[in-house]
Amino acid sequence: MATDPIHLSDEVREALEAGRPVLALESTIFTHGLPRPHNRELALATESQVRTLGVTPATIGVVRGRPTVGLSVDEIDELSNDDDAVKASLRDLPIVMGTGRSAGTTVAATGYLASRAGITVFSTGGLGGVHHGAATSFDESADLPTLAGLPLIVVSAGVKSILDIGLTLERLETLGLAVVGYRTHRYPGFYVSDSGFALDYAVDSAEEVARIARARDALGIRSTLLVANPVPEDQQLDPAVHDAVLARAWAATVERGISGHDTTPFLLDFIMTETEGESMRANLAAYANNVAVGASIAAALGSAA
């Protein structure tokens, strides 16, 4: 009998076996999203936040070729300081596993590993989506088709505002991914609480999300329920500043000949520099808010079991 290639920490395994709530967390936010030592501090502070809310955190990554659900403090330290750690989406998992490399896992890879481990709820910052110009480039994040085949609940602050949000919402509909706003009928835009697009459905509580997920499961639907949770208005990036900086960022890509895979990191770095770090502050505020909501949903699912 083949050995399961995914390693579960004792803490996560025991919580799942006992039916206690568990919340999945990605690792690219600290392997590729923040400078040292802030990346390690964020990872550990997030786990502490989840535990304080009575939920077991399951930070997910790949450590020297081993997909791991529930990274230890030592493993978080290792990934946080590994200059050679790659950013792994779902397609990359067998490559990093087969070559013995370490990796931070994206939404697609984290969601897949969480689902394989039996974890239902996953909190992240912002989803990937459809890029501008996708009609000719076909540039669309693997997050969308991957989540379309996984029965998860994913809490995010929408998709990154550098993406084509209108087309992303159209693709979510086509792929059968249900979206509900958490106490809002406006789709959030990552750094800002309102992207300018409306949502058909809103929920008022974690318990309501849990009921919707249970109805989905009862129907045999195997796609992710997306919970769009806006960054609090008093912690968002000023919308006027956001729009102006984003316009300058796009103009800069043309002036400097930036294209393809280089576009997203260039835009994010440009926005952070131009806002003097305010975009990162808003990003982290959104993430902490998503973690809190995700933990409450995980607890609500457990209490309804």
What percent helix, strand, coil does the chain show, rounded to 5? 50, 20, 30
Q: Is 258 exposed, middle or buried (0-12, 13-18, 19+ CB in 10 A)?
A: middle
Structural domains of the chain sorted by starting position, each given as residue range(s) with its CATH number in brackets: 1-119 (3.40.1790.10), 141-305 (3.40.1790.10)
Q: Which of 47, 75, 140, 160 is catalytic?
A: 160
The answer to whether the CB of 156 falls within 8 A of the CB of 168 is no
Tokens of 199: 């949502």
| 278 noted as active-site residue | no
- Count of Cβ atoms closer than 10 Å to residue 191 Cβ: 31
Assign 1 a pLDDT band (cuts: 50, 70, 90): very low
Inform me whether the pLDDT recorded for 139 exceeds 90: no
| Most confident segment among 73-77, 134-138, 156-160 | 73-77
Higher pLDDT: 305 or 271? It is 271
Q: What is the pLDDT of residue 206?
A: 98
CA distances from 21 to 14, 42, 138, 258, 305 (A): 11, 21, 38, 44, 10
- Count of Cβ atoms closer than 10 Å to residue 284 Cβ: 20
Average of per-residue pLDDT across 71-95: 97
> pTM of the full predicted structure?
0.95
First to last CA, the chain: 31
The percentage of residues in the chain with a pLDDT greater than 70, rounded to a whole number, is 96
Distance CA 290, CA 305 (A): 23
Q: Which of 26, 47, 75, 140 is catalytic?
A: 26
Higher pLDDT: 259 or 151? It is 151
CA distances from 74 to 14, 44, 81 (A): 20, 11, 11
| 26 noted as active-site residue | yes
